[in-house]
Structure 1
Amino acid sequence: MFLSRYERMIARRYLLPGRGEAFIALVASISLVAVMLGVAALVIVMSVMNGFRAELFDKITGLNGHAVVQGYGGQLRDWREVAAEARKTPGVTTATPLIEQPLMASFQGRVEGVLIRGMTVGDLRANPTLNRNVVIGRMAELTPDCECIAIGSRLASTLGASLGSSVQLISPQGPTTPFGTVPRIVSYRIAAIFEVGVYDYDKAFVVMPMETAQTLLLMGDSVSMVEIDTEDPDRVGEILAPLAQKVVQTAQLSDWRTLNATLFEALAVDRLVTFTVLSILILVAVFNILSSLIMLVRAKTRDIAILRTMGATRSGLIKIFVTVGTAIGGLGIVAGLILGFVLLYFRQGVLSFLGFITGQEIWDPSMRYLTELPAKTDPLEVASIALMALGFSFLATLYPAFKAASTDPVQVLRYE
């Protein structure tokens, strides 16, 4: 839609009303601010939810893989064959044997429930999720003959343990006596403390070499599961379908969607509901543009009539008022994008400030899974938000624009 020179001049004058039209200018300013806040809120919330899902997915799959083959009864004796078969499956990148078992940990009278994870030394040193997030100590010290472990930072804080402390692990699977089964209590030295950023993992995980876990749990040469990574997590079911049929007699295959179905479904629903609610907020802001344009048309009725008698066309008037309303919406969108990106960049500082003002912990890791507020901005999503807001603004201009174009100069100027 191209404007002629006089149309641009009039549109510019209407964007900046005169002294006697301060109320119209106020309403237009409120409209601009409302669009800005709506766009900023939508960009911030959608980016945070995208970041939350991506961060949670990376942490979960970084420790649990895209799928696991679990042996019936908690033990997988033919794990070497299962791992070899998995590696031969097209689309599978890695197949890692693991031992996982819930136990109890004790240190200086404090007792906490923990989740033991046994991994081969090679897998321990090659796991990026663990090695990148070591707070203190070295994962390289975890060897079969070391009697060493690595624990999460939250667990260390809860137990009051630190690097070099000797923590006792209590296993119910101990020797059998005439009086029943006696629990096994074995002490291990803390060689490393890690913080992966997922509260439940940092609160419970105890990592050790596989041989050490097999000895502690009296498992012999068996493992609990084989962890599998694939080329495309979204196609994990399709990729592993042949493997699932081959291991069905001895084990069960579960992918990340099955293991965390409730969590990711809740995130998807929450994301949709939030987007809908905040879109309505932008729609309400756009109605302010409609109101300001209607008032502007009523205030400029005499000017419109004079323009019509001077040769202004109906289409020209439509373009003028569409331009005015769309410009208000466009400025609000640009300001909203800037505000949204600034708040996203300083999001941790904003949370700290709000916590200081309210005296409460705004981001509780025990409730939010992650220790920090994540954010991941999707350019296509931001573009769709901007286009949606601009489309709403354009639609809001149509009625006032056509109302102005339908002004009858004879009726308006009859008594002038």
Structure 2
Amino acid sequence: MGLSFTIARRYLFSKKSHSAINTISIVSVCGVAITTMALICTLSVYNGFQDLIASLYSTLDPQVKIELVKGKTFDTSQPVFGEVEKWPEIEEWSPVLEENVLLVYRDKQMPALMKGVPDNFGKLTQIDRILLDGEFMLRDSIVRYATIGVGVANRLEAGAHYLHPLKVYAPRRKGKVNMANPAASFNEGTLFTTAVFSVNQPEYDDQVAIVPLDFAREILDYKTEASAIEIKLVDGVNEKAFIDKLQSRLGIGFVVKDRMQQQETSFRMMQIEKWMTFLILAFILMIATFNVIGSLSMLIIDKKDDIKTLQSMGADDKLISRIFLTEGWLISAIGAGLGLAVGILLCFLQQEFGLLRLGQTAGAFVVDSYPVKIEWIDSVAVLLVVAILGFLAAWYPVKYLRKKLL
């Protein structure tokens, strides 16, 4: 392998008798390098956006969430929940109740998702970070308060500390509908808006109203029921191990989710988009490696006399094949190495200086420049694809063209 590598290296860097061969070799290296760089940068941008979206969701999504596999609500007074709540790994334990309701503010109304939360909700989440106006609070000595998404506030033309009350209507769960007086079939509650939040995600901003848990239970005719339990873990606790332990304790009737699983559809779509883009760029890389076939074919023709000399000196067909295979691998390896290095450098510069911006006006988007994050598995996947395509591109001319041309 040492002899074949030495000869291949000399063939690659030495001046050929036909300048076109040098040009095609350079083009081959540049084609692989540019495509590899594009792969690394593109995948890193997808990773950056995924982390950005995860950070947005994490302001309201709990670290761990318990939900029913089937059904809407469950009784939180069950002994198993009293036992789990005392586990030392848990810092905050928060039963929540979610249901669709009708919000009415003065002459405006809209359907919304009411989320009833206990008093420790501010410790469980980072809601203070996403408030656009007002202060998050659930009650004082006189009234109870609601915190609404920015889209809800726009639809209702409401805001923090507005004087008029926010009315909430929910169908009665018990009893029959009175057709003579349909309004009697609804429970009604009154709150005042104390804050407006923005997650920059429409499923929260345009739908959610956060209210006290006792208010939600009253208007929905519940006592100790909840639709989910949200949990914050003590720092340093192994999240996956805790989820496995909790799932085992609760059994098959419940599902325990981390933040990624709570937004599984969104993150799955991002992963599909990411790897579809990877396949498209890999196809472009495959086209770029066709230059390697042309380069090696012309090199074999150019080195006819050298091959005959090596054969006269005792070199067998395997050695000669290894020389040109190594030549093809060197072209792919140098291109991949250059592309990987430049791609990582560009990603680092983007992280530090934000060279590629999302818009000319600062603050127009959630972030001012494209977010990037380099993951080692992406680099491994890119190098693996380059290695496979580089081998196939070198194998074809060595296997077939050499025998036909000599």
* Deviation at residue 62 of structure 1 after TM alignment: 5.6
Of 182-191 and 192-201, more deviation after overlay is shown by: 182-191
Cα 1:162–1:379 shift into 2, 3 Å: same
| Letter paired with 2:358 | S
- Cα pair 2:170 2:219 within 8 Å, conserved: no
Which position in structure 1 is the counterpart of 2:229? 226
**Structure 2 Cα separation of the partners of residues 317 and 25 of structure 1:** 20
Bigger drift between 280-289 and 55-64 goes to 55-64
Q: 1:305 to 1:292 in 2, by over 3 A?
A: same
Give matches, 1:382-401, under 5 Å: 382-400=379-397
1:108–1:217 distance in 2 versus 1, CA, 3 Å: same
Q: Is the 8 A contact 1:83 1:97 kept in 2?
A: no
Aligned to 1:138: 135
Q: Write the letter of the residue equivalent to 1:244.
A: G
Question: What amino acid maps onto 2:113 in structure 1?
Answer: L
Shift in CA distance, 226/11, structure 1 to aligned 2, threshold 3 Å: closer
Bigger drift between 162-171 and 109-118 goes to: 162-171
Aligned to 2:85: 87
Alignment of 1:110-121 (within 5 A): 110-121=108-119
Among 242, 245, 248, the alignment partner of 1:241 is 248
The separation in 1 between residues aligned to 2:369 and 2:83, in whole angstroms, is 39
Question: In 2 relative to 1, CA 398–154 (structure 1 residues): closer, same or farther, beyond 3 Å?
Answer: same
- The DSSP-based 3-state class of the residue aligned with 2:14 is helix
Are 2:132 and 2:196, in contact at CA under 8 Å, matched by a contact in 1?
yes
- Is the alpha carbon distance of 1:339 and 1:207 closer, same or farther for their aligned partners in structure 2, counting shifts above 3 Å? farther
Q: Which moved more, 1:71-80 or 1:203-212?
A: 71-80
Shift of 1:97: 0.8
Q: Which deviates more from structure 2 when the two are superposed, residues 232-241 or residues 129-138? A: 232-241
Query: How far apart, in 2, do the equivalents of 1:228 and 1:236 lie?
Result: 11
Q: Which has the higher helix share?
A: 1
Q: Partners of 2:165 and 2:323 in 1: how far apart?
A: 76
Measure, in 2, the Cα distance between the counterparts of 1:71 and 1:11: 62
TM-score if structure 2 supplies the norm length? 0.71
User: 2:358·2:369 contact (CA, 8 Å) conserved in 1?
Assistant: no
Q: What does residue 248 of structure 1 align with?
A: none
User: 1:70·1:226 contact (CA, 8 Å) conserved in 2?
Assistant: no
Distance, in Å, in 1 between the alignment partners of 2:404 and 2:314 is: 13
Distance in 2 (CA, whole Å) between partners of 1:29 and 1:9 is: 15
CA distance in 1, matches of 2:73, 2:401: 78
TM-aligned CA deviation for residue 290 of structure 1: 1.8
Match of 1:103 in 2: 101
What's 1:156 paired with? 153
1:254: which partner in 2?
255
- Letter matched to residue 299 of structure 1: D
Partner of 2:2: 2
Q: How far apart in 2 are the matches of 1:235 and 1:284?
A: 47
- Is the Cα–Cα contact under 8 Å of residues 11 and 323 in structure 1 kept in the other structure? no
Q: Are 1:179 and 2:181 counterparts?
A: yes
Q: 2:265, 2:114 → 1: CA distance?
A: 24
Q: Secondary structure at the match of 1:121?
A: coil
Residue 21 (structure 1) aligned to one of 6, 19, 22: 19
* TM superposition shift of 1:269: 5.6
Matched, 1:125 2:122: yes
Change over 3 Å in CA distance of 1:278–1:93 after alignment to 2: farther
CA RMSD of aligned residues (A): 4.8
| Cα 1:391/1:107, change in 2 over 3 Å | same
- How far the C-alpha of 1:184 sits from its partner, in A, is 5.2
- In the alignment, the residues of structure 2 paired with residue 266 and residue 298 of structure 1 have an alpha-carbon distance, to the nearest angstrom, of 49
2:358 to 343, 348, 352: 352
Q: Which runs of 5+ in 2 are unaligned?
A: none
Counterparts in 2 of 1:274-293, with a 5 A limit? 274-293=277-296
**2:334 is aligned with 1:331:** yes
Cα separation, 2, equivalents of 1:296 and 1:338: 28
User: What is the distance in 1 between the residues matched to 2:83 and 2:51?
Assistant: 30
TM-score (norm 1): 0.70
Within 1, Cα distance between the matches of 2:369 and 2:82?
A: 38
2:168 counterpart letter in structure 1 = I
The AA in structure 2 aligned to 1:79 is S
Q: Flag the 1:45–1:312 CA change in 2: closer, same or farther, 3 A.
A: same
User: What is the alpha-carbon distance in structure 1 between the residues aligned to residue 255 and residue 205 of structure 2?
Assistant: 23
Aligned length: 386
Q: Answer yes or no: is the 8 Å Cα contact 2:46–2:274 preserved in 1.
A: yes
Answer yes or no: is the 8 Å Cα contact 1:79–1:225 preserved in 2.
no
